[in-house]
Amino acid sequence: MVDADGRVRAQLAADGSLTSASGSLLAYIERDGTVGSAALEYLGEVTPPGAANGVGYVTDGEDALVAEVDYGRAALRSAQGSTVAELRKDGEVLGHRGSHCGRLEGFSYGMLQQAAAYIALIDPDFVQGK
């Protein structure tokens, strides 16, 4: 993950471990969509797309709805329905009103579940330019 200024923000390894730019462990994003902290605490889950509508859901560690993932449009919306982020096929992440937030290096649409976990549960400041 690279921020809008081109600085590395985090890196996701093939085993699901997410590290900061300095190399410290931030979280784990499992293939089934569950997310855990570096201390192995449950942070939440991102579900795969529903068969009927192509939408998945992001819930926190207390099963409260955080966001929904529109897998067809590659978009993440808040629980209130506002667009939080849109992802382009080249990995560009657009935030509110199309502002450039950064890029997910090596992104493919098959990684949308992991991208949603990162943006919604681990680093929501990424799409807010902080």
Is the Cβ–Cβ distance between 109 and 74 less than 8 Å? yes
Task: Assign 24 to helix, strand or coil.
Answer: coil
Q: What is the pLDDT of residues 22-41, one digit of tens each?
A: 999 999 999 999 999 999 99
Q: How many domains does the chain have?
A: 1
Residue numbers of the domain that contains 24: 2-128
Question: What is the pTM (predicted TM-score) of this model?
Answer: 0.91
Of 86, 90, 66, give the one whose Cα is nearest residue 76: 86
Contact partners, residue 30, CB within 8 Å, separation at least 6: 16, 36
Q: What is the pLDDT of residues 29-85, one digit of tens each?
A: 999 999 999 999 999 999 999 877 899 999 999 999 999 999 999 999 999 999 999
d(CA 93, CA 124): 12
Confidence of residue 90 (pLDDT cuts 50, 70, 90): very high
